[in-house]
Amino acid sequence: MELTGHDVLAFRVHAQQLGRTTGSLGDTTVLDLGVQDTGTDGAPWALALRGLTDPPADELVLLWTLRGAPHVYRRAEAGEVAAATAPFSDADAAKRIFDAARPLKAAGIPALAGLDTVAARMREIVTRPTVKGEMSTRLTAVLDEPYLRDCVPCGAVHAYEQPFRLAALRAGLELEPGTSPPVLRPIPGFAPAGSAGARLDVVRAYLRLLGPATPAHVAGYLDATLADVKARWPADAAEVTVEGQRRWVLADDVDRLGAGPPAGTLLLGSHDLFLQARDRATLVPDPVRAKELWRTIGRPGAVLADGEVVGTWRARKAGKALDVSVDPFVPAPPRLRAAVEAQAERLAAHRGLGLRSVSVSD
């Protein structure tokens, strides 16, 4: 099957249920892979854009998982999420913890064993809600030298950041929503599962929500080794061609690749799953525009119109009001301007603010 980039984006909009008006925790597909909660318009806004506007807070859980980033999941599945998001092997764990792997290797400590050691100490320390800074200080005091680093910005010695984050769920700890700095607390009744079901399998979930894709795309999203991803490649993955490149999608989803482009305009948050795909050139072919959208610091949101990324946006709070500014990639026609204004109203209401202004650059 020969596909265009437009076909791919249309498939993802439908698979991720963007623009849906109603939904439930059980049928919201992005919760299978986790909804990143980064920035002012994080997981709650991402869920609202998929029809889940007021989910029961006690049925959601916020965890440090993929890439060490905070993600929201269904609380009832926390044990399976721990299994699904864990490193696949020692080599994979070493890749995911970055520079922390080097001193562990020099000390003869396998990366997975290192994560388990950090998790054990964290589990002993956090018996009540604990601020990250306090947790880090107490953790440093009970870890051996291979687990610690001299942090120049902090001017102190403390545990490496990625093992700290990736060990938290292994320790049965969740993040308290809305806290900055983060507060960790024990997950009530947490019991890690031996394995995760197919729905939560991260390789399959990527293909289902961000396909068609290659093993390299999936490995990049997970921070995993390419060899481990290839070893876990689904037997039912079907090959397709996207503008001359071989990619794969789950066989059950092949028939959905012909869906037409979805209508409507949305203001995607800066870390929305739709923007997390590792084939960025498919989303934004222009490298200059892509560089602006995926800035390392101060990343804007994306304007999604009829299944295409057509610009960036930012919002600034001014007292009890919100100002929204939009930079379209090409001059915006009246229809797009009106749609953006409607979505800015929606965003302001979501934040509990009034909308003061919407500016669209020429």
pTM of the model as a whole: 0.96
Report CA dihedral (228, 29, 264, 294) to the nearest 10 degrees.
Answer: -30
Strands (E), the chain: 2-3, 35-36, 60-64, 70-74, 130-131, 148-151, 156-159, 173-175, 183-186, 237-242, 245-250, 265-268, 301-305, 308-318, 321-328, 354-360
Q: Quick count: other Cβ atoms within 10 Å of Cβ 113?
A: 13
- Are 186 and 63 in contact by the 8 Å Cβ rule? The answer is no
Domain boundaries, the chain: 2-186, 284-360
pLDDT tens, residue by residue, 253-312: 999 998 887 889 999 999 999 999 999 999 999 999 999 999 999 999 999 999 999 999
Q: What is the mean pLDDT of the chain?
A: 96
pLDDT tens, residue by residue, 169-228: 999 999 999 999 999 999 999 998 989 999 999 999 999 999 999 999 999 999 999 999
| Torsional sign, CA 81, 84, 87, 90 | positive
User: Closest by alpha carbon to 45, among 298, 269, 265?
Assistant: 269
Paired tokens of 350:
């979501």
